[in-house]
Amino acid sequence: MIATIVGTGLIGGSLAISLKEKGVANWIIGVDQNESNLKKAQELKIIDEGATLEDAMQRSQLIILAIPVDGMLQIMPSVLDKAGPEHVIMDVGSTKQKILQLVAGHPNRGRFVAAHPMAGTEYSGPEAAIKNLFTQKTMVLCDVKNSAEDALELIENMVDKLQMRLVYMNAEEHDLHTAYVSHISHITSFALALTVLEKEKEQGRIFELASGGFESTVRLAKSSPDMWVPIFKHNRHNVLDVLDEHIHQLQQMRELLQNEDYETFYKLIQKSNKIRKILK
């Protein structure tokens, strides 16, 4: 099978590597507005060739859109317009409601499978692409009742070959739960990085004293704003909801510390430890 990857960065590039290694595709075409990324992806042998989207669609069965959500919303209607019964189109966006609202009622809606691989790193670009990024990770498929049976089957088989866990959700619950377990982690990390940069004026001290705990907490602050601002924009309502709760928890801890109520503080931390039973 020939597959096209639109967007040759971390997720698109890692998918390209895995699709070849797991035997899902025998030829990968890359499409990218960034000519530098496209050239680098070819040099790294992540893709077999670069092409325009129109040319790639004429030769591919599987088209994966791995670009920021704003870009996805711009090109999806034209991609579906060009889709034939031989095509399967999949996105890997971190928000789903807006894109599924956009394509609802399109005559070729059945050729589209909305997906979100719950995997990634803080790095971006073709150089960030790695092997086995998706192994034992979760792939969320959304509103599958609106995808054609053969299109869904192809994606489900792909997920199986990538050795991923499969979860089905509707778009609304996907955006809600990803705000809780993914988006809040990133916005918190950005805020923590800004806090430390503002308070600790001596950059050398940050480097010298930062331990594993700080590094793991602030790691996500290295993530690209090109990717994350559109995610926050399109999942604004859910992100604001969870952010309000997060701020409430921080304020509660601040008040306990200010009032030297260490017994209640102890109980709060003890309560938070319950997450260990979920994330083993």
Please tell me whether residues 33 and 106 are part of one structural domain: yes
Q: pLDDT tens digits for 140-149?
A: 999 999 999 9
Please tell me whether residues 194 and 87 are part of one structural domain: no
Of the three residues 169, 190, 218, the one that is the final residue of a domain is: 169
Please tell me whether residues 111 and 247 are part of one structural domain: no
pLDDT attached to residue 204:
64
Take residue 263 and report the two structure tokens written for it.
Answer: 């017994």
Please tell me whether residues 33 and 126 are part of one structural domain: yes
Provide the percentage of residues in the chain whose pLDDT is more than 90.
86
> Beta 27-31 vs 49-50: how paired, if at all?
parallel
Report the CATH number that the domain containing residue 265 is assigned in CATH: 1.10.3660.10
Domain extent, residue 204, equals 174-278
Please tell me whether residues 191 and 61 are part of one structural domain: no
> Given a cut of 70, is residue 76 above it in pLDDT?
yes
pLDDT attached to residue 83:
97
Give CA–CA dist 229/276, Å, rounded: 30
pLDDT attached to residue 8:
96
Average of per-residue pLDDT across 228-232: 95
Please tell me whether residues 149 and 185 are part of one structural domain: no
Going by pLDDT thresholds of 50, 70 and 90, the confidence category of residue 122 is confident
Q: Is there a contact between 154 and 161 (Cβ–Cβ < 8 Å)? A: no
Give CA–CA dist 115/117, Å, rounded: 7
Average pLDDT, the chain: 94
Please tell me whether residues 106 and 9 are part of one structural domain: yes
Position 213: which residue type? G
Report the CATH number that the domain containing residue 6 is assigned in CATH: 3.40.50.720
The Cβ of residue 16 has, within 10 Å, a number of other Cβ atoms equal to 28
Q: Is there a contact between 63 and 88 (Cβ–Cβ < 8 Å)? A: yes
> Given a cut of 80, is residue 94 above it in pLDDT?
yes
Residue the block writes with tokens 């430390």? 196
Q: Is there a contact between 89 and 79 (Cβ–Cβ < 8 Å)? A: yes
Tally the domains of the chain: 2
Give CA–CA dist 258/260, Å, rounded: 5
pLDDT attached to residue 32:
96
Please tell me whether residues 67 and 109 are part of one structural domain: yes
Average of per-residue pLDDT across 64-71: 96
Please tell me whether residues 6 and 138 are part of one structural domain: yes
- Burial of 96 by CB count in 10 Å (0-12 exposed, 13-18 middle, 19+ buried)? buried
Of the three residues 169, 186, 206, the one that is the final residue of a domain is: 169
Among 214-228, 232-246, 263-277, the minimum mean pLDDT is found in 214-228
Closest CA to 228 of 182, 192, 196: 182
Measured CA angle at 1 (ends 4, 107), to 5 deg: 60
Q: Is there a contact between 5 and 30 (Cβ–Cβ < 8 Å)? A: yes
SS3 state of residue 6:
strand
Of the three residues 123, 138, 169, the one that is the final residue of a domain is: 169
Going by pLDDT thresholds of 50, 70 and 90, the confidence category of residue 266 is very high
Please tell me whether residues 205 and 164 are part of one structural domain: no
Phi then psi for residue 29, to 5 deg, are -100, 130
Model pTM above 0.85 = yes
Please tell me whether residues 7 and 51 are part of one structural domain: yes
> Given a cut of 90, is residue 120 above it in pLDDT?
no
Please tell me whether residues 143 and 46 are part of one structural domain: yes
